[in-house]
Amino acid sequence: MALKKTHAAALCAALLAGGCSFAEDALFPATGTVAANQTEQAAPDAPPVMGSSGYEAVTVTPGSPTGTFVGGKAAALRGDLQSLQATLGRQNQSLQQIRNETVQDSQRYHGTVAAINARLQVGTTPGNPILTQQWNAAQGELDRITDDVLKMNRLTNEVTSSSTMAAFLLESVRAARSLSGAVDEDHRQLRILEDETNRTVVMVERLLSELTSDSIRQQQYVASEKQNLNTLALGIKNGALFAGGLGNRINASYDGASARPLASGEMPLVTIRFDRPNVNYEPALYTAIKSALDRRPNATFDVVAVSPVGSTPGQQALSASNAKRNADSVLRSLTNMNLPASRVRVNSTTSTSTSTGEVQVFVR
């Protein structure tokens, strides 16, 4: 119990220092506590392990001319198989090169992000130009990984064409065995050719399946890291580490239901008072939203622009415009924290209890 009170006091102190108030206990009954050392590192996801197999050429057995039409057909099909083998060999070389480049680009990216995280972990100045430069380098390295994925996709299309050619070649070999006018030697050569073509089909299909899986996993990885970079940029802006994007905490089974209307007298999860320029509300906002998602992964949120009641219509309109601009800023912050925009609704209202305008965030 003492640990829980100490943790709650430290949390409230951090929130109030950022110009926000947080009504955690009023919104969420205590259902358990999180250990003090249970933290989540804002490190990049481990890159997906790529396949390691490659295409090994199947030996094409030479044949002797028989002087028959079927023998000539077998010789032509044997040449087609040899040509396909050469194409697959070149494609395999491209695959191994792409894999090596992707691994090197991923290592550079992870090294750069790790350096940023290490500096943010101990704290630094907001907008540190060195970290900004490192972030730009990480973005460039992630772009190179994106280029690697594009190369992988192009190669997948090429191997798909080779797979189609291999399947067509196998059917052609089988069809040649039904042609009339063949001698026993023709059929013997065709059986050998059919076996070697079939082995080629199996190998190229396995290669295509592995290449397709690699491409899909790399695309998902790049998409995830783009979100992580957004969260990292937010940490650099504030000079402190944000423990992962809020999008990672959302239950995948969320059905997209809209938030219910506000009820009179409801207590907001967060109240951000814009009573001075450049209110540094993002660390407190992140902590509050993260805590809400920890307790209710399917939660949605209302961001409400609260403006004071002006003495004249003109003053009231100006106050409402300023409050709406502040609410839009809060919405952008939540989006940069990887909270999907579909989970947030923006409203506005007036209040006699505020004189400078504020933004209230309600959890649903």
CATH (domain of 16): 3.30.1330
Strand partners, 288: none
Q: Which secondary structure element, helix H or strand E, spans residue 116, and what is its range? A: helix 69-122
All residues at 6 or more sequence positions from 229 whose CB lies less than 8 Å from its CB, including other chains: 113, 135, 138, 139, 142
Least confident stretch, 11-15, 90-94, 319-323? 11-15
Side by side, the strands of the sheet bearing 20-22 are 20-22, 270-273, 358-363, 301-308, 344-351
Residue 187 or 261, more confident? 187
Q: Which two tokens stand for residue 101?
A: 């480049």
Average pLDDT over residues 124-136: 92
211 and 80 within one domain: yes
Average pLDDT over residues 265-271: 82
Q: What domain count does the chain have?
A: 2
Q: Which two tokens stand for residue 108?
A: 């550079």
| Res 261: pLDDT | 42
| Res 265: pLDDT | 58
Q: Which secondary structure element, helix H or strand E, spans residue 347, and what is its range? A: strand 344-351
Instruction: Give the 3-state secondary structure percentages of the chain, helix then strand then coil, rounded to 5.
Output: 60, 10, 30
> Considering the domain boundaries, does residue 185 fall inside one?
yes
d(C-alpha 71, C-alpha 85), whole Å: 21
Residue 290 pLDDT more than 70?
yes
The listed range with the strongest mean pLDDT (23-32, 110-119, 278-287) is 110-119
CATH of the domain at 83: 1.20.58
The model's pLDDT over 308-320, given as tens digits with 9 standing for 90+, comes to: 887 677 677 778 8
Residue 235 confidence class, pLDDT cut points 50, 70, 90: confident
Range of the domain at 207: 69-238
83 and 204 within one domain: yes
> Considering the domain boundaries, does residue 16 fall inside one?
yes
User: What's this model's pTM, rounded to 2 decimal places?
Assistant: 0.61
**Other C-beta atoms lying within 10 Å of the C-beta of residue 86:** 11
> Considering the domain boundaries, does residue 51 fall inside one?
no
Per-position DSSP letters for 132-156, written without gaps between them: HHHHHHHHHHHHHHHHHHHHHHHHH
119 and 17 within one domain: no
284 touches 236 (CB < 8 A): no
Parallel, antiparallel or unpaired: strands 358-363 and 344-351? unpaired
Share of the chain above pLDDT 70, in %: 80
d(C-alpha 49, C-alpha 214), whole Å: 8
Widest pairwise Cα distance in the chain:
106
130 and 217 within one domain: yes
> Considering the domain boundaries, does residue 73 fall inside one?
yes
> Considering the domain boundaries, does residue 41 fall inside one?
no
Phi, psi for 302 (deg, rounded to 5): -110, 125
Residue 28 pLDDT more than 60?
no
Buried b (16+ CB within 10 A) or exposed e, 219-249: bebbebbebbbbbbbbbbbbbbbbbbbbbbb
The listed range with the strongest mean pLDDT (185-189, 213-217, 232-236, 347-351) is 185-189
| Res 44: pLDDT | 53
- Boundary-marking domain end, from 186, 206, 238: 238
The model's pLDDT over 39-94, given as tens digits with 9 standing for 90+, comes to: 344 445 567 777 777 777 788 889 889 899 999 999 999 999 999 999 998 998 99
Residue 219 pLDDT more than 90?
no
The model's pLDDT over 139-190, given as tens digits with 9 standing for 90+, comes to: 999 999 999 999 998 998 898 899 889 999 999 999 999 899 889 999 999 9
Q: Which two tokens stand for residue 182?
A: 């063949």
| Res 276: pLDDT | 85
Residue 256 pLDDT more than 90?
no
SS3 361: strand
288 and 224 within one domain: no
Report in angstroms the alpha-carbon separations of 82 from 59, 64, 87, 195, 286. Answer: 9, 16, 9, 14, 61
CA 252 to chain centre: 14
